[in-house]
Each structure stands twice: as C-alpha cells, then as structure tokens.
C-alpha cells in the first residue's frame, strides 16, 4: 500500500471512530441515525487520487495526506466535535 493511502485511511479511521464514540454520547441517539456515511466514498476517492499522485510526486502526495490527517484531528468534520475538543473534554481541560 502506498504511504499516502495509509495516512488517508488513518484519517478516515479517526473520523469514523470520533463519530462512533461521541455522537451517541452527546445526543443519546443511536449511532445509525446521525452517522456521516459520506466519509466512506470520500476516503475511497482520496485514496485513489493520492495513490495516482504518488506515482508522479511522492513527497507531494505524502504531504497532502499528512495535511488531511492533521486537519481531521484539529477541525470538526461530520456531526461530532473535533477529536482534540473531545480529548480535552475527557481529560478535564475544557468544559
């Protein structure tokens, strides 16, 4: 597997795990009501695109995938707050 694809799959895993854990905890609704299913096809498109780009310029593809991973950790995507916000709430830094 290409290294850019691995970073994109990690970003998708973090996004999905964040929604699976924190949507039911925040709303009390079942997971399947508010889960953001657009993550799955977006991940597939991003993996295919960055794998093709990695054939042309490996540093560029790895850099874009790294930026995607960083933005998933910091910026809230979907219906749950960002993982950084959730982690700060869990450890008691932010209320």
DSSP letters spanning 10-79: HHHHHHHHHHHHHHHHHH-S-HHHH--TTHHHHHHHHHHHHHHHHHH-HHHHHHHHHHHHHHHHHS--TT
* Residue 1 banded pLDDT, cuts 50, 70, 90: low
Number of compact structural domains in the chain: 1
Confidence of residue 12 (pLDDT cuts 50, 70, 90): very high
Instruction: Give the residue with greater pLDDT, 3 vs 2.
Output: 3
74 within 8 A of 11, measured Cβ to Cβ: no
Question: Does pLDDT of 25 surpass 90?
Answer: no
Q: Residue 37 has what pLDDT? A: 84
Query: Can you give the pLDDT at residue 59?
Result: 95
| Nearest-angstrom CA–CA distance, 82 and 33 | 19
Q: How many CB atoms lie within 10 A of CB 7?
A: 23
50-90 pLDDT tens trace:
999 999 999 999 999 999 999 999 998 877 788 898 888 88
Residue 57 in 3-state DSSP?
Answer: coil
Residue 80: the pLDDT is 78
| Mean pLDDT rounded to a whole number for the chain | 86
Centroid of chain to Cα 12:
4
Range of the domain at 12: 3-91
What pTM did the predictor assign? 0.84
């Amino acid at each position: 597997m290409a290294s850019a694809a691995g970073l994109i799959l990690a970003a998708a895993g973090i996004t999905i795990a964040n929604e699976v854990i924190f949507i039911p905890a925040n709303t009390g609704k079942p997971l399947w009501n508010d889960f953001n299913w657009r993550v799955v096809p977006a991940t597939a498109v991003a993996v295919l695109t960055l794998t093709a780009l990695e054939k042309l310029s490996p540093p560029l593809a790895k850099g874009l995938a790294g930026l995607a991973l960083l933005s998933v950790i910091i910026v809230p995507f979907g219906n749950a707050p960002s993982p950084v916000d959730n982690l700060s709430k869990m450890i008691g830094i932010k209320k």
